[in-house]
Homo-oligomer: A and B are copies of this chain.
């Protein structure tokens, strides 16, 4: 069935982001995405369930990384330290993907339905983090607070990262800075 297309997934993703920016997310069809990538619709659907999934397929791997990092944290680590390690590890995942992260963000900012989806994604990540902390013996409200606060730091660092001019610090570094800033901010009260 269907011949093998080199990096079909990456080409489809790239084509989709371009079209969502040029024409708007709503107005873009799967046929157009496949056409721009020089592939068939059938190939598109081998990689993505629908055009929204092109923007959100990453939330599964993101959650797995967060959960694995908390599971692997040393027993002696404080809950917030477990969360900070996990969020920093995720920051490294994004590495060189700033340009596509920036595009993705502008697409999502232009569409209320996608914004809702993004908020749900973050809430799901926070719930997964809190659940993992509880399995490691952290009690509530510390588990929920550490998870919520960790995601808040991630959001703030991510916004700085995609907003900053090129040559600024990487995402992991901004995350570390934001955790330090968090300590300063919460100690201020």
Q: Which chain B residues border A188 with CB–CB below 8 Å?
A: 78-81
A81 contacts across to B, CB distance below 8 A? 188-189
Cβ of A100 under 8 Å from chain B: no
A174 vs chain B, min Cβ distance (A)? 9
9-residue interface stretch from A3-11, A50-58, A114-122: A114-122
**Is A178 on the interface with B (CB-CB < 8 A)?**
yes
**At the interface, yes or no: A22 with Cβ under 8 Å from chain B?**
no
Which of B80, B119, B156, B185 lies in contact with A120, CB distance below 8 A?
A: B119
Interface flags, A109-138, vs B, CB<8A=1, else 0:
000000110011001000000000000000
CB distance from A160 to the nearest CB of B (A): 6
Stretch of A64-72, A141-149, A165-173 on the interface side: A141-149
Contact status A182-B120, CB under 8 Å: no
Main secondary structure of the interface of A (DSSP, over half): helix
Is residue A86 contacting chain B, with contact meaning CB distance below 8 A?
no
Taking a contact as CB atoms under 8 Å apart, the answer to whether A148 and B152 are in contact is: yes
A187 adjacent to chain B (CB < 8 Å): yes
Q: List 13 A-B contacts (CB under 8 A).
A: A78-B189, A79-B185, A81-B188, A140-B160, A141-B177, A145-B156, A145-B185, A146-B185, A148-B156, A149-B185, A149-B186, A152-B152, A183-B186
Give me the interface of A with B, judged by CB distance under 8 Å.
78-81, 84, 115-116, 119-120, 123, 140-142, 144-146, 148-149, 151-153, 155-157, 159-160, 177-179, 181-189
